[in-house]
A and B are shown apart, each in its own frame.
Chain A
Amino acid sequence: MTHNLEILNYKYMKRNLNDSNYLEYKPTVEHFLETEELNRINLNRKINIEGLNKIFKDAQDSTKVKSLLKISKEEFESQKASFTDAFVGLSLHNLLRLSPSEASRPEVWNSLTYTGEEVLKYHLYRKNIELTEENKDLTLKDIFVSSTMGTIHQHNKISWPWWVVEVTRNGSDYISSLDAFKSTTYFTTRYIQSFLLHQRPIAIALSQYFAEFDKEPRRFNKLRREVLATKGADGLGQYSVALKDYFIENRVFENIEYPKISQEKFQKWQESSSSFSFKSGPNDFEVTQETLDKLFKIFDDIGLKRGWIKTSA
């Protein structure tokens, strides 16, 4: 038997929760949205949440995180926050099987937060994960997803990793999503709302490109963090700005092959369930290796224009 998510009334929460009462809030039946309201906001599908608490409990256990992501202790320690986000994003993507339309609703994420005690505990854990000084308390702002795009896509610590996974998965293949998280939280937070990441081929290619960027033998005389976060010699600011400029200027978008998305396959996936594996995503499209290779070449060329120097082939 499955356990489905009850969707809470956004307006009630928005009006009544504040920093002094949000931790004590216990949703009751009166706060659940009725069918008619759910239809209106396209949230009428039953969303299975069996195992939700376990996901958030396991996310606070480094052994579980390393095991699911198949990463070493050293790798985990080097980017604790990013890999914890990866664990949450990938696990939620596999469990909830949300469509982008459903995931764009703040109601989904606010309802999840109040579904099990582990979710709130996780919010607190995530807030303090890399703090070396005194721990910080949660505030309502940390957990409540308001109806703005930035909060849903970029700021909330459970909705945002889901979106990272969604925009960077290559059909059923979640490896490129893990690559996105490997490319640091700078990449997953700063690039996620960029128009470039709306475009699946570019999002996947960028994730793979930066996940490998610092690997030995290094191909360029630059480190990933320098490339992502600092300006280049072309005066165009950060790499994301240069990329956008180059893509628009050279009309690159028109030469990229965009995959056809199969809704039938996506819905079939939504209606099924399975434990997580790196191939358990929806098989609704595929960006070919040929397309990705073309994009890698473009990324290299832009780098060279920005003053990177090749150190190996």
Chain B
Amino acid sequence: MSSIKSITKFDIFDSDIDVNILKLDNTKVSRQINSSWEKTHSQKKGHLNKFQEWKTVELQILGQVDAKSECDEAILKINCDWTNFYNQIKLNNIQKNKNEITFSTEYTLNKNLVSSEVTFSIDFLNKGKLVGESKRFSVFVDNRIKPDIDSSQFTWIFSEFDKDTENEIPAEYRALVQKEFNLRGHKPLSFFSTPDSENKLGIHVNLSFPGLDENLFNDNEHIPESLIGLRDLLEAYYRSNAYMVQFTNLTFLIQALAQADRKKYVEEKISEDELENRVVEAINNKFDSGSIGTSMELVNYLSSLIFPKEKNEKRRVYDWWKYAQENQQLLIERFNLSFQTVFNPLKKINLEEIIEDLMKIENSKNSDSEGEIIDS
């Protein structure tokens, strides 16, 4: 486990979580399984989906926090969005030394209760007050695509942009994609349709693009290990753009609200507190309609990405509106960074491994060609 550095900002101390695999279906795991599990440890990921049929897994969960925190309680939170599963348990075993306090427990996870990604995180408390929050450790239990909020926020649509038949790119976008942007020598990778009251934001993947295959993104497909890196990079491209469209689209909608109140504030007829109340109320009213593409939950969630240090939800939503009025450029600068807090590139793209794999292929090609006899 990595060493812990104390931050002490806002009395929150740096902390860590580790999840080790002990048994699969009550049988101690082999060295091979253990070493496969350890491969993604540093990225706080565990891949149970790599192992063949299992029903239960026994895990050891370790939590560490800086000793200066005087932490006396650690609570493990386990969550799976796909199955609405949540549990929390106190970590009982405590060991202390000069530098850190370590908590641990063993936990048996039953596959019946979960699917896709199960997250483990620990809150560290001192007399009930939060003194540390671990990162999330993600355990993937099957091959379903990662269940980010993305999956409820976006719809992936695969179609051949070059065709004009039904089930290909929808007729309403066809003129834009096929005529206006039909630039010589160009072929788009993607198109993003903004959400309306019934639809989510659509990520349209162009299957006319040479080499693009729907199966690459299909959770039911076993794709070769060597293609996973490529898939992850493409996914980053699609999701990054989708987030940018989502942020921009919502900003346009939010920006237009509460203009009369803004005028009153400028004329000093109302205070900023009053303005904030009115703005948040207007945004709530606009998005409370529960449409799929643009719900208030989504606004709240995205605001927490744009303003990650602001803990007050209402203030975050107000700040979004405020920046949209006065400081659009500062808001835009936050968008791409916000996306990366969800699509954690460090966790999701193992660039070193991708490069290593490609180099191996390159080297094997070179060594093959070295053995060839070339006629001169």
**Residues of A with Cβ closer than 8 Å to B?**
10-11, 18, 37, 39-42, 99-105, 146-150, 152-153, 155, 163, 166-167, 189-190, 193-195, 197-200, 229, 231, 235-238, 241, 245, 251, 253-254, 258, 261, 263, 266-267
8 A-B residue pairs with Cβ-Cβ distance under 8 Å, sorted by A, are A40-B142, A101-B114, A104-B115, A153-B84, A193-B152, A235-B277, A251-B125, A263-B56
Besides A254-B88, A254-B123, 14 more A-B contacts (Cβ < 8 Å) are A41-B142, A100-B83, A149-B147, A150-B200, A190-B290, A193-B297, A198-B85, A200-B86, A235-B277, A237-B284, A237-B288, A241-B313, A263-B110, A266-B112
CB-CB < 8 A to B130: which residues of A?
251
Interchain residue pairs A-B with the least CB separation, the first 4: A100-B83, A99-B112, A198-B86, A150-B152
Question: How many Å lie between the Cα of A87 and that of B271 in the bound state?
Answer: 52
Question: How many Å lie between the Cα of A167 and that of B284 in the bound state?
Answer: 27
**Complex partner residue of B280 from A104, A155, A197, A235, CB under 8 angstroms:** A235
- Nearest to A100 among chain B residues (CB) is B83
Given contacts A105-B115, A237-B284, contact A10 B220 (CB under 8 A): yes
CB-CB < 8 A to A193: which residues of B?
152, 297
**What is the distance, in angstroms, from B285's C-beta to the closest C-beta of chain A?**
8
Question: How many Å lie between the Cα of A167 and that of B80 in the bound state?
Answer: 13
Question: How many Å lie between the Cα of A101 and that of B113 in the bound state?
Answer: 5
Contact at A101–B277, with CB atoms within 8 Å? no
CB-CB < 8 A to B128: which residues of A?
251, 254
CB-CB < 8 A to A194: which residues of B?
297
Interface centre among A149, A155, A235 (most CB of B within 10 A): A149
**What is the distance, in angstroms, from B271's C-beta to the closest C-beta of chain A?**
14
**Complex partner residue of B115 from A101, A150, A245, A261, CB under 8 angstroms:** A101
Contact at B85–A11, with CB atoms within 8 Å? no
CB-CB < 8 A to A150: which residues of B?
151-152, 200, 292
Contact at A148–B155, with CB atoms within 8 Å? yes
CB-CB < 8 A to B114: which residues of A?
100-101
B350 on interface, CB distance cutoff 8 Å: no
CB-CB < 8 A to B136: which residues of A?
none
CB-CB < 8 A to B123: which residues of A?
251, 254
CB-CB < 8 A to B85: which residues of A?
100, 198
Contact with A along B262-306 (1 / 0, CB 8 A): 000000000000000100110011001010100011001000000
Contact at B284–A163, with CB atoms within 8 Å? no
Given contacts A10-B220, A241-B313, contact A235 B281 (CB under 8 A): yes
The A contact surface, by secondary structure, is helix
Interface size on B, residues (CB 8 A): 52
CB-CB < 8 A to B81: which residues of A?
149, 198
CB-CB < 8 A to A18: which residues of B?
166-167
Contact at A199–B86, with CB atoms within 8 Å? yes
CB-CB < 8 A to B56: which residues of A?
263
Contact at B115–A258, with CB atoms within 8 Å? no
B22 on interface, CB distance cutoff 8 Å: no
8 Å CB interface, B304-327 against A: 313-314
B87 on interface, CB distance cutoff 8 Å: yes
8 Å CB interface, B61-108 against A: 75, 77, 79, 81-89
Contact at B313–A261, with CB atoms within 8 Å? no
CB-CB < 8 A to A235: which residues of B?
277, 280-281, 314
Contact at B111–A245, with CB atoms within 8 Å? no
Question: How many Å lie between the Cα of A253 and that of B87 in the bound state?
Answer: 10
B42 on interface, CB distance cutoff 8 Å: no
Question: How many Å lie between the Cα of A147 and that of B154 in the bound state?
Answer: 11
**Complex partner residue of B113 from A39, A100, A105, A254, CB under 8 angstroms:** A100
CB-CB < 8 A to A258: which residues of B?
86-89
**Complex partner residue of A167 from B84, B110, B151, B277, CB under 8 angstroms:** B84
**What is the distance, in angstroms, from B362's C-beta to the closest C-beta of chain A?**
33
B341 on interface, CB distance cutoff 8 Å: no
B26 on interface, CB distance cutoff 8 Å: no
**Complex partner residue of A149 from B79, B82, B112, B280, CB under 8 angstroms:** B82
- Nearest to A186 among chain B residues (CB) is B290
Question: How many Å lie between the Cα of A100 and that of B53 in the bound state?
Answer: 17
**What is the distance, in angstroms, from B306's C-beta to the closest C-beta of chain A?**
18
Contact at B152–A148, with CB atoms within 8 Å? yes
- Nearest to A163 among chain B residues (CB) is B84
Question: How many Å lie between the Cα of A194 and that of B86 in the bound state?
Answer: 12
CB-CB < 8 A to A99: which residues of B?
112-113
CB-CB < 8 A to B111: which residues of A?
42, 101
CB-CB < 8 A to A39: which residues of B?
53
Given contacts A100-B83, A197-B84, A241-B300, contact A236 B292 (CB under 8 A): no
Interface centre among B77, B142, B220, B281 (most CB of A within 10 A): B220
CB-CB < 8 A to A149: which residues of B?
81-82, 147, 151-152
Question: How many Å lie between the Cα of A235 and that of B314 in the bound state?
Answer: 8
B11 on interface, CB distance cutoff 8 Å: no
**What is the distance, in angstroms, from B196's C-beta to the closest C-beta of chain A?**
14
CB-CB < 8 A to A261: which residues of B?
87, 113
- Nearest to B142 among chain A residues (CB) is A42
CB-CB < 8 A to B112: which residues of A?
42, 99-102, 263, 266-267
